[in-house]
Amino acid sequence: MVSRDIDIDIEFYSRDREPRRKDKDLFETVEEVFDKATVLAVIELMRRRCIKELKGVISSGKEARVYWAKGFDNEDIAVKIYLTSTAEFRKGILKYIRGDPRYEWITSLHTHKLMAVWARKEYSNLKQMYDAGVRVPKPLCVYRNILVMEFIGENGVRAPLLKELNDAKAIDSNMAERFFIDIIDNIYKIYWNAKLVHGDLSEYNVMVYRDLLYIIDVSQAVKIDHPNAHEFLYRDIQNIVRFFSNEIGIKTPRPEELFNGIVKGIREIT
């Protein structure tokens, strides 16, 4: 899953100084995809001893790339870098931003600023969930358009998504039942403890590592008092129920039962 190495010499870049043009190794390897501001942001995170070395790309989506990297204790970390904001992305995020007084002002920002706010929003959602006991990657640091978090996987190989695990026929019905209860429990904790709704929950945003589920991709999560929060919550539950009942084939409660149970704060619903 790692496409190539990006070796950035940390001893060199972590020194307290401005990078010069002749720091050309870094610029040459990364400049195809990173603009200069992003390169400088990576260097700043190295100076802050958050990232030691960027190793390689794990995933390149439309707006963000996720990298496998090393921290200063030589531990694996995941670095999510927001790179572009297409017109489509702007339109998409409006849906989550409108009605959320925390973020309404950002719609007028230019790309760099917008990406930075979006990365910070993902970091703070992640932190709120992590502190509430939801199983998400531990957020480590954020700077400009870059979010650094715990790596879910081993030796630079990321853990599979729930979707991939099912495609590989690696989920039996006992596991499926356990996973289903666990996801509903995590949705409950996101709602009641973190006071948030994920808003893009599906088998594509859940990873499975050492037999445990990790919920990822939380940038679009909204507060429970957002005007569309309950619509998003219902959709999240529907996606999960559809996956477990239609694709894996286990018996589940109906989405409306689960939704009512969660909103009313009834824990024993599954």
Ligand X SMILES: Nc1ncnc2c1ncn2[C@@H]1O[C@H](COP(=O)(O)OP(=O)(O)OP(=O)(O)O)[C@@H](O)[C@H]1O
Is there a catalytic annotation at residue 217?
Answer: yes
CB 79 within 8 A of CB 146: yes
Instruction: Give the x/- contact pattern for ligand X in 213-232, rule: CB under 6 A.
Output: ---xx---------------
115 or 262, CB closer to ligand X?
A: 115
How far from 57 is each of 93, 156, 221, 253, CA to CA, in Å? 25, 10, 25, 39
Largest Cα span, the chain: 62
State how far the Cα of 102 lies from the Cα of 106, in Å rounded to an integer.
9
CA distance to 52, 73, 156, per residue, from 129 (Å): 26, 25, 25
Q: 150 vs 236, which CB is nearer to ligand X?
A: 150
What's the token pair of residue 105?
A: 């002002």
Question: Applying CB under 5 A, which of residues 10, 217, 218, 235 lies at the interface with Mg ion?
Answer: 217
Restricting to residues 149-178, name those near ligand X by CB under 6 A. Answer: 149-153, 158, 161
Taking the least distance from each CB to ligand X, the nearer of 29 and 59 is: 59
Q: Smallest distance, Å, CB 64 to Mg ion?
A: 9
- Three-state DSSP state, 123: helix
Q: Quick check: 236 binds ligand X (CB under 6 A)?
A: no
Interface ranges with Mg ion (CB under 5 A): 205, 217
Interface ranges with ligand X (CB under 6 A): 58-59, 61-64, 66, 78, 80, 137, 149-153, 158, 161, 205, 216-217
Active site residues: 200, 217
